[in-house]
Amino acid sequence: MKHKKQHFVPQSYLSAWCDPNTPPDQTPYVWIFTKDGAQSKRKAPENVFCETDTYTIKSADGSRDLWLECGLCELESRFVCTRNNKISKEEALNQEEHLYLCAFMAAMLSRTKAQREHHKAQWGGFLKVLDEMIENRRKENPNARIILDRLPADHNERSFTYADVKEAAEKPLQTLMSPLISAMTPKLLRLDYYAIFTTDVAPGFITSDNPCNWYDSKWQELPPMWQNQPLLRKSTEISLPISPKQLVCLNLSGMQGYIKADDKIVNEANARTRFNALEYFVVNANIKKDEWFVE
């Protein structure tokens, strides 16, 4: 069946981590480590971080709507083109390439299994509260007609129906991913600076099953009202490894251009990537370092 196996971390993205020492008679593979580093195995990118119909929208008649999957494939193609033709050569990006880089990062913040489980828990909790409210109303008055057509919302936000909440809890990626990418992309574009760290030291930067990392070194020092405004703080960094040789970092602190990363920077970035993983991190060799396990 067409597009049945769908990757929540793109195969084209992961291909950059294929082991350069893969024997010529074997399919190129990456090294997959459990988050604690206890186990590793080699697998082809096409066989990892994928599920059946992850983004497919199924109609009542059983038909499969693939517009989300096809849209992601187009975005992945534009990212890979930018990575291979510009970033790998350390060339400046034009406005369109910068836009697609930010859109790809927004997608990687929205499309993963980790995000799906987060939204399931969040919206599932909301749905549970609503179901309890309905059940309590029925107990109070068994003959009452309970209508949850529109749930309360702020004046500048759209309201939700009970069906909306139920769908978000049961199918969060199909329901929430597209609006999240649309909302996040312009916010990432408004970050004043982007730096691309580079290294030639093996194994270089690692990636994971949840590779886009949102980090704030001063988050715990801030009052609660500012903890919810990460894109306004100079201490915020949003990073994504884009190959073993390069990692992009969006920021407000003035870092920009191509920057040579020493071992300390690479190991710190890898520690963040491993810590942010849901279950697995990925290396282009059967190598792990103690520095990656410092939280």
What confidence score (pLDDT) does residue 207 get? 98
CA distances from 134 to 65, 89, 143 (A): 33, 59, 13
What confidence score (pLDDT) does residue 232 get? 55
Cβ within 8 Å of residue 222, ≥6 positions away:
233
Could you give the CA distance from residue 66 to residue 81 in angstroms, rounded to a whole number?
A: 23
What confidence score (pLDDT) does residue 226 get? 40
What confidence score (pLDDT) does residue 127 get? 83
What confidence score (pLDDT) does residue 22 get? 95
Question: What is residue 151's DSSP assignment?
Answer: B
Show the tokens assigned to 220.
Answer: 């715990």
**Which residue bears the tokens 């199918």?**
171
Could you give the CA distance from residue 284 to residue 286 in angstroms, rounded to a whole number?
A: 7
Is residue 255 within 8 A of residue 249, CB to CB? The reply is yes
159: left (phi over 0), alpha (psi -120 to 50) or beta: beta
31: left (phi over 0), alpha (psi -120 to 50) or beta: beta
Cα atoms in the 13 Å half-sphere on the side-chain side of 258: 12
**Binned average pLDDT, 10 residues per bin, the chain of 295 residues:** 80 97 95 97 94 77 76 93 96 95 94 86 84 79 59 54 83 86 90 92 96 74 45 78 97 92 96 95 97 90
Q: Is the peptide bond before 203 cis (omega within 30 degrees of 0)?
A: yes
Could you give the CA distance from residue 282 to residue 49 in angstroms, rounded to a whole number?
A: 11
Could you give the CA distance from residue 292 to residue 295 in angstroms, rounded to a whole number?
A: 8
Would you say how long the chain is, in residues?
295
What confidence score (pLDDT) does residue 221 get? 46
What confidence score (pLDDT) does residue 217 get? 65
Element housing 13 (H / E): helix 11-14
CA distances from 105 to 64, 98, 119, 177 (A): 26, 11, 18, 13
The number of beta carbons lying within 10 Å of the beta carbon of residue 276 is 19
Could you give the CA distance from residue 95 to residue 116 in angstroms, rounded to a whole number?
A: 31
User: What is the bridge-based pairing of β-strands 57-58 and 40-43?
Assistant: unpaired
Show the tokens assigned to 203.
Answer: 């194994």
What confidence score (pLDDT) does residue 222 get? 44
Cα-only R_g, the chain? 21
